[in-house]
Every structure is written in structure tokens, then in C-alpha cells.
Structure 1
Amino acid sequence: MDELSPYGLRLALYLLSMLLFGRLLFVRPALPRGIFLPLTAGALALVGVDALARVSSLLGLPAADIDRDTAIWFATGTPVGVATTLRALALLLAFVLLLPTATVRGARRLALLVLAAAALGSLAWNGHAVAGDGLAGDLRLGAGIVHLLAAGAWVGAIAAFLQLALRRQGPGLRHRTHQLWKATHRFALPGTAIVALLAMTGTYSYVDLGGSLHTLTGTAHGRWLLFKLGLVAAMLLLAALHRWRLVPALAVAIHAGWQPRPLRSLRRGLACEATLALLVLACVAVLGTLDPRA
């Protein structure tokens, strides 16, 4: 159980950071402050736990024995520590911005989106993207940041669609279903761009790290990556099913006589896609701890 805890911590940190960024990016339907506040507070708490775990692992010290000087050294004297400090500051500022009012829109939303992007992008320092110096290292790090932001956008879109799809029955159900149709229909172009960014940055990072067909099948990292790619392929198949079958069927149900079956089918598809996304993030949590060449 202790061996699994670092992976669980990484998974939770990735998930909350991506949900915060992605739901700020896709504001429809709007989320109340009562959701954003716990997301931000939870991510901030996880940053602190992650920092303690990293210092403890790095120096071989129990968390209780980490003193002030050691914490300052980690926070200011190591690249991962500096990224952790910036992540904590971004989340703390986001939390403060959320306190005064229940509305999350306009300039406030833009500021929160920038802070959430900074917090999510800083997680690139937690993985292989930070390995390297000079121009090659900068390109690798940039690809890692873009990959994280694109993944956060995808996770946020799934969460937004699920929020629309899982609304309770009532007199406004048909109108809310029309909102769901519009949101999923308009996501076609952004969704294609997100997938393209994920594919390009993921391929570049793997090849840049020395990955090959041999390491893809002959190493633990490669086998986990293959499993992750299989999950992503399943998500893409579901996305294609949504775009070409379920969303058009939903449009017919709305305009040619109300039928609840297409809505139920889309709900199940979105729930499956969310489950697959969670499994992909679990793979990411493991992959960040494995050597791509060994």
C-alpha cells in the first residue's frame, strides 16, 4: 500500500490540476464557486503533500524530520522545488481570487485561467520533460507543458459535457439537452486540435527521450506506454462515436420529436470516456517514475 501511495498522489495532483484548468477553459455550463474552491484547495493541499514526499524521498528523511532550512533549500535551490513553489503560489492566488464573489467570469475568470495554466504546466517539472539542457532541453520542456495543457483541456471538456448530460429530469430537460448538443457539436474543431497537439508533443517527447520500437516493447516504461496508448485509442473511438453517431442522433431527438434514448446513450458514452481518461492519468502517474530506456 505504501508503494502505491506515490502513484495515487501523482494521479490526484494531475486530476485536480487538469479539472481546474479545463473547467475554467470550458465555461459552459458555468461551475459555481462552491466547486472551484474545493478544487483549488484540494490541489493546493496536494502540492504541499507532494513537496514533503519529494524531499523525504530525495534526502531519505522522515517527513517529520524536514526542517525549515531543508524546506527552503528544496523550494529555492532545486528546479523541481522552484516549480513546486510557483505552483503553490499560483493556486494560492487563485484561491484568494475565488473568495470575494460567487461569479467566475470576465477578467476574474481570465486571471484564474492563467493561474490554473501555470499550476498545471509546472507539473512538467515532475516528469521526464525537465531532463535535458540547452535548446533540446527547452524544447522537451515546452512539449511537456503543451502536452499537459492539451490534456487538461480534454479532461475539462469531458467534465463539462458530463455536467450537462447528468442534469436531473425536469421541465427544462429538452432545453438543457439542446445545450448539450450545441456544446458537443461545437467541440469538433477544438477537439481535433487538442488530439493533434497531444499526438505531436507525445511523439516528440518519446523520441527525444531515446524511445524506439524496441523500448516500446522491451521495457516497463514502454509496456505502460502501450497500455496508455490503447486507452487513448479507445477514447478516440468513443469520441468518433459521439461525433458521428450519438450527437447527430441527439439532434434528431430534439428537432423531430423528443426521444430520451439518444441522451441516455450519450450519457453512457461520456461516462465511459471519463473512466478511460482517469485510467490514462493513472498510467501517466506511473510513467513519470519509470526510465524510458530501461
Structure 2
Amino acid sequence: MSDWLVIAARFALYGDLALLFGVPLFALYGLRGEERHHARLLPLRPLAGTLAITGIALSAIGFVAMAAAMAGTGLLQVESDTLTMLLAQTSVGTAFLVRMAALAFCLFAGVLLSRHPVAALSAISVAAGVGLSSLAWSGHGAATEGGAGMVHLGADILHLLAAGAWVGALFALLLLALRGSPKDDAGQVRTLHRALDGFAGVGTVIVGLIVVTGLANGLVIVGIANVMSAAAGLWGQLMLAKIVLFLGMLAMAAANRFRLTPSLERAIERRDHAQALAFLRRSLAVETVMAIMILGLVAWLSTLEPLNGG
């Protein structure tokens, strides 16, 4: 039970921190001026506050659940000495403390969003990026030793940040699409189109980072010689499922960029964007579901040994 609680807590925390990092980052490059104040477009202030508080709670639950799994006890039976030892003597404990401090800072910066949106969004993105990066110490990267360990940990961090940027942008675009009404004067839908068009270049960089860091991680964790043996176990099967979902997200993203976004632009010019907006909403929703499934797989994969049959 404790193992599944660890997986569930990590899954929720991955999603929470990805949004806390990626949505403010998207608001910086995807929105302009007054649009960052417009709660009808993106409710940035309540979203940042909610995600920061939720992240603090999930971090605490996840840390205690991990301690329970290590000690072989129930969640409520974990001794304070075990928690103190983990906090003071392990890299996981240090990462937890850094994450909690980063999330507390996000909470403070969120208060300043209405008065200093650019500065506050920048501060939240940086702090949330630190919090998201700290999750690398809960995965395989922190267990690799020597020079390969540094490469692995660095690749893990970049992988997390790139994934967070994609998940956050995807969530923000879906919110913009859902809030754009077919009965509007197309102003809000034009904002959505411009944001989609602007994300194209950023998305290319994100995908490139995910592919390169994913390959680097795979080579360090498994190695070319052990690919087939790893694929025979549960870890390999889950990794294959993750890759298939990632390719599915790429296909949906390509459809958005090369077919649905240009179609929306033409529909706006005709002042008849209802159908184009509906297609785009559906595509973004499917891509979001795939992203959620990948986060679940990542949380599960982080608890398994690649070359141990599961």
C-alpha cells in the first residue's frame, strides 16, 4: 500500500509542480501586457496560490510516504527519528527542504502578481523550476555515481523542466480555448491563436530537449547492451508505453501547429470560428490526457529498477 501511496503522491506532485512552473512561464512568453492581468484569460494569481499550497501539502505527504515505505510501516506509524534522519543525512531530505522553501517563495511572489506581474511571474517560474528540479533527487539520476551520475542528474533536471514547460503551456492553451466563446467578438480567440502561433518555436525547443535528455537518461540507466533485457521487464514495458504516448503527443502537437492553428486563423477572418475552436479544444484535451498518463507512468517508473525485472 505504501508503495502505491508514494507513486500517487509523486504523480500528483509532478503534475502540480509542472503547472506551477509551466503556466507562469507561458504567461511570460505567450501573453502580452494587460493580458496577464485578465483573469478571464488565465486566473494566474489564484492558480499560483493554489498550486503552491497544494505542492507543499503533497511534498509533505510524499516525504512521509517514502519514509513509511523505507521503514516498512504504515503512514501513521513512521517514527520522528526516521524523518529526522532522512532530512538531515540524505540528498532526498535536502531536496525536500529546498522544494518546500521554493514553494513558500512562490506563495509570497503570487501576492505580487496584480501589481508587478512580470517580476512576480518570473520569480514564480524560477522558484517553481527549482522545486521541480528537486524531484530529480527522487529518481534514478541521484543513484548513479561518478561522472555519469552528474550527466544523468543534469539530464533528469532538464527533462523535468522541459516536460514542465510543455505541460504548463498545454494546460494554459486548453484554458484559453475553453474560455473562448463562439459568441465572442473573436478578441479572446485571436489571443488564443497568437499564443498557439507563438508556442510553435518554444515547443520545438522543448521537444528537442525532451528527446535528447530522454536518450541520455536511457543510455545511462540501461545502456545499449541491456536494452532487450530491460524491455522484457515491467520497467521496460512502462517505458515503451511512455514513448508511445509521447509520440502521440507529438502527433497531436503537429496537427495543432500545421492544421488546426492555421484553420482557426482562417475561421477568425471569416468571423465564423465556432467549429475551428471546437476542433482545437478537442485536440488540446486529448493531448492533455496523454500528458497526464505520461506523468503517471513517470511516477511509477521512478520506483522501479530497470534491470531487475520490474
Q: TM-score, normalised by structure 1?
A: 0.94
Matched, 1:262 2:284: no
CA contact (8 A) 1:215 1:292 kept: no
CA contact (8 A) 2:18 2:164 kept: yes
Alignment of 1:112-131 (within 5 A): 112-131=124-143
SS in 2 for 1:4: helix
Q: Equivalent of 2:201, from 164, 167, 189?
A: 189
Aligned to 2:110: 98
SS in 1 for 2:125: helix
CA separation of 1:176 and 1:234: change in aligned 2, threshold 3 A = same
Percent identity between matched residues is 35
| Alpha-carbon distance between aligned partners in 1 of 2:258 and 2:45, rounded to the nearest angstrom | 34
CA contact (8 A) 1:32 1:102 kept: no
| Alpha-carbon distance between aligned partners in 2 of 1:60 and 1:148, rounded to the nearest angstrom | 29
| Alpha-carbon distance between aligned partners in 2 of 1:17 and 1:223, rounded to the nearest angstrom | 26
CA contact (8 A) 2:3 2:69 kept: no
Deviation at 1:239, TM superposition (A): 0.6
Matched, 1:292 2:306: yes
Q: Equivalent of 1:237, from 212, 230, 251?
A: 251
CA separation of 1:106 and 1:144: change in aligned 2, threshold 3 A = same
Deviation at 1:201, TM superposition (A): 0.3
Range with greater deviation from structure 2 (209-218 or 193-202): 209-218
Per-residue CA deviations over 1:80-124 (Å, capped at 9, x if unaligned) read 111111111111122123246645622222221111000000000
- Counterpart residue identity of residue 8, structure 1: A
| Alpha-carbon distance between aligned partners in 2 of 1:118 and 1:19, rounded to the nearest angstrom | 13
Per-residue CA deviations over 1:43-92 (Å, capped at 9, x if unaligned) read 11000011111112222344434444433321121011111111111111
Range with greater deviation from structure 2 (239-248 or 94-103): 94-103
Alignment of 1:1-294 (within 5 A): 4-27=4-27, 28=31, 29-99=41-111, 102-103=114-115, 105-167=117-179, 169=181, 172-212=184-224, 213-294=227-308
Per-residue CA deviations over 1:181-223 (Å, capped at 9, x if unaligned) read 1111111111111001000000110111124430353121111
Deviation at 1:33, TM superposition (A): 1.4
Question: Between Structure 1 and Structure 2, how many residues are aligned?
Answer: 294
| Alpha-carbon distance between aligned partners in 2 of 1:121 and 1:215, rounded to the nearest angstrom | 30
| Alpha-carbon distance between aligned partners in 2 of 1:127 and 1:22, rounded to the nearest angstrom | 21
CA contact (8 A) 2:6 2:66 kept: no
CA separation of 1:63 and 1:216: change in aligned 2, threshold 3 A = closer
| Alpha-carbon distance between aligned partners in 2 of 1:211 and 1:104, rounded to the nearest angstrom | 48
SS in 2 for 1:227: helix
Per-residue CA deviations over 1:4-32 (Å, capped at 9, x if unaligned) read 33222111010000000000111135433
CA contact (8 A) 1:24 1:113 kept: yes
| Alpha-carbon distance between aligned partners in 2 of 1:210 and 1:260, rounded to the nearest angstrom | 48
Deviation at 1:162, TM superposition (A): 0.6
| Alpha-carbon distance between aligned partners in 1 of 2:271 and 2:229, rounded to the nearest angstrom | 54
Q: Which runs of 5+ in 1 are unaligned?
A: none
CA contact (8 A) 2:20 2:51 kept: yes
- Counterpart residue identity of residue 146, structure 2: G
